[in-house]
Amino acid sequence: MEVKPFTAADISELKRLSQLCLSDNVQAFLDKKTAELETLLPQTISVPVKTKTDELCCKKLKNYGWDQTDSAIKFYITIPKPFEKNDVQVEVTDKSVKIVVKTDTEKYELQISQLFGTVLSDKYQLKTKGLEVGVTLTKEKSGKWECLCASDVKPKPQTPDLGMDKDADPGSGIMKMMQKMYNEGDDEMKRTIQKAWTQSQDKQKQGIDPIT
């Protein structure tokens, strides 16, 4: 009669019989043989199983809408493929927000760093409707933001020093007039006056009459 190789099921049966033995010697014998047989079993290699999420292609979203009130900042994005609300993940810090939406075939991500102001990371609302995703963040301090990101802040133009002096000669009235025109003028007027003043200063440095 041919003796077939022991299988994992056979070894499990031997272990069960070992537990039923009343004799310590018999139990020790079975335990020893069981251990020897286990070394003869084919070695199985554990291969990590990739999940569906790991295989999804990630697409960065660049188009989004935003709005604000005195107390909150709202973001709106549109996903081109259907998704479930449970497939939306939101990560918020005091200066950033990250929204990840997973569909059957792809993953979409919107990340905005360095917000203009500070938000409360533990207070946000998520809403979905159809292909739309809306996330509302709570501002730490009430008030309107100048822009969404700190990097979007435009530096304010510096007012040129037109050489105004309280004790200046009465003939400096032209300077006062230029100062007033600069302060009250639009951007184009300010650029024109600033250019004229710079050219005048350059001429003076070269010993040239600025009027010529």
Residues 6 or more apart in contact with residue 36 via CB below 8 angstroms: none
**CA–CA gap between residue 179 and residue 140 (Å, rounded):** 40
Predicted confidence (pLDDT) at residue 58 exceeds the cutoff of 70: yes
> Does this model's pTM top 0.75?
no
Judge if 71 and 145 occupy the same domain: yes
User: Is 142 in the same domain as 70?
Assistant: yes
What CATH number is associated with residue 129? Answer: 2.60.40.790
Summarised one tens digit per residue, pLDDT across range 94-117 is: 999 999 999 999 999 999 999 999
- Where among 132, 152, 172 does a domain terminate? 152
Give tens-digit pLDDT for 147-204. 999 888 777 666 555 555 555 555 466 677 777 777 877 878 788 878 877 777 776 6
Can you give the residue range of the structural domain that contains 93? 58-152
The answer to whether 11 touches 37, Cβ cutoff 8 Å, is yes
45 pLDDT band, cuts 50/70/90, is very low
**Token reading at 203:** 């001429």
The 3-state secondary structure of 189-210, one letter per residue: HHHHHHHHHHHHHHHHHCCCCC
Structurally, how many domains does the chain consist of?
2
